[in-house]
Structures are given as C-alpha cells and as structure tokens.
Amino acid sequence: MLQIHSLTLTRANRTLCSNLSLEIKSGETWAILGPNGCGKTTLLLTLAGLLPTQSGAIQLDQQAITGYSRKALAQKLGILFQHQEDAFPLTVREIAEQACFPHHALWQSPTATQHQAIEQAIHDYELHALAERDIRTLSGGERQRVALACLQVQNPALWLLDEPTNHLDIPHQLRLLQRLKVQGRTAVVMTLHDVNQATRVATHALLMLPDGKWLAGTIGEVITDENLQRLYGCEFRHLNNKEGDAFWVAQ
C-alpha cells in the first residue's frame, strides 16, 4: 500500500532519519517508537503529504503521493494530529460531518449512508452525550475521541495516528487499541510512547534511533532488550506473564 524509498528527513540541520526504506502492506499495524524530538511526527506529516520531502520518494498504491490532489489523497489516507485547537464554535456532530468532505463535491451534504457512518462513529466512541456540544468546551480526552471518530467517518485505507492514546483514560485506550487491532484491510501507522501498547497492538515497528539510524521489522524482530536500550538510552528488561506474553520495563 505505502512504499517509502530512501527517504531522508532533516529538521534544523539535524538528520532525523536517513535513507529510510520500507513497505507498509494493508492489514499491517506499524508502531513508530523513539525518544522526544526524534522525528516521529515529522515522519507522519511527511507520509501524509503535509510536509515536503527533501530527498527520497513516497508511493501510495504505486503512485507518488506528490501526484495526488489533496482530495484524492484524503480519500486514501487520514491523519490524527497531536494537537488541534479550535477558535470558532462548532458542534461535535458538525465536525463529524466535515469528515465526509473528501468523498463528495464541494457543496454536497452527507448522504444517508454517510449519516449512518457518522451515527456509528458517535456510538463507537461514546459521544452521544457530547454530540451537540461546542468542541471548545470538551476535555482533551473527549476531543481525542472526536478526532478518532472523524477518522472512522473519513474511512481511509491508511490511518496515520500521532499518539492516538494521548489524553485517553485507560478503558478508552484499551477499546481503541482493540479496535485498531481488528481493522482488517486497512493499514495503520502510529507513533506511541508505550512499548507495551506497541507490542500489544502492532504487527511491525519502526525504531527511530539516534543520528538518523533506524530499525524496522516485525515486533518479534525489532523489540528486544538491546534495541530498546539503544533507542531510549536506558536499560530495559522484559518479564513474561503466565501466557508467555512479554512486557518491557525500563530500569
């Protein structure tokens, strides 16, 4: 679905990752891990075509993302931002309706099917009580749920999520991870801070190491005590539960 060819990202004369090449297939869930400021968000924004690439190429369904119109791109990939600030009043339902925008002409209203999808998303993310509230009056976690519901309405084949569990309480985190796990034919790329969440939900991981180096592969291949130590610069040890699942603890 998404192919990255020798992509090099720099920011303020610092190389965030050099020569990154990997392929993300539908059905896969990728976790991007790395310390603060390593370029996780920059990478996601670049993959969404929202930041220009200095070198390297990104292809979505065999076509360079620079060759897509914004609208065609929005039909195929959707992104969850880390911050979203609203200056004007809009209700949660109005915001959910905006997520249909990529799928029809400039002035059209959502169709009956899309209205169903909106209701479904409002239901899935437990937004019923908030549907008519002004977005500016919601808490951080509530806003995060609205943004995730919007992504579900937008319904792209590739989901790019910047710290999707941010602000969410533990039950909502669990439900979200569960939902991401059973996405089926969609592909998910997300940045995370919690190694154990990554191993729980992701099939693959990309570790953004210091000095622009990186490691990519299946969870089993790349999530090891040594790699995590290289990544974060602190010692890691893993513990196994009765079922044999591994959990990582920083020392």
Partner 1 sequence: MKLMPLLLLCLLSLVMLLLSLRFGSTRIEWPIIFNSLLQNESSLSGKIIMDIRLPQALTAFCVGGLLALAGSLQQVLLRNPLADPYVLGTAGGAAVGALLAMLSGFAGIGIMSAAFLGAMLSTLLVFGLARGVSGSERLLLTGIVLAAGWGALVAFILSISPDRTLRGMLFWLMGDLSSTQGVGFGLVVLLASLVLCWLFAKPLDLLTRGETLAASLGINVHGTRWLLFIIAALLTATAVTLAGPIGFIGLVVPHLLRLAGIRLHRSLLPSVVLAGGSLVMAADILARSLWAPQQIPVGILTAFIGVPVFLFLMVQQINRGR
* Nearest distance from C-beta of residue 22 to partner 1, angstroms: 22
Nearest to partner 1 of 86, 245 (CB atom)? 86
Cα separation, 80 vs 182, in Å, equals 18
* Nearest distance from C-beta of residue 89 to partner 1, angstroms: 5
Contacts of 81 (CB under 8 A, 6+ apart): 147, 162
Contact footprint for partner 1 (CB under 8 A):
45, 48, 50, 69-75, 78-79, 81, 84-91, 94-95, 98-99, 101-102, 106-107, 136, 154
* Nearest distance from C-beta of residue 8 to partner 1, angstroms: 22
Nearest to partner 1 of 61, 245 (CB atom)? 61
Instruction: Tell me the two tokens of residue 37.
Output: 């400021």
From the list 134, 141, 247, 129, the residue with the least C-alpha distance to 197 is: 247
Nearest to partner 1 of 69, 241 (CB atom)? 69
* Nearest distance from C-beta of residue 115 to partner 1, angstroms: 16
Cα separation, 30 vs 152, in Å, equals 18
Nearest to partner 1 of 91, 173 (CB atom)? 91
Contacts of 87 (CB under 8 A, 6+ apart): none
Question: Helix (H, G, I), strand (E, B), or coil: what is residue 236?
Answer: strand
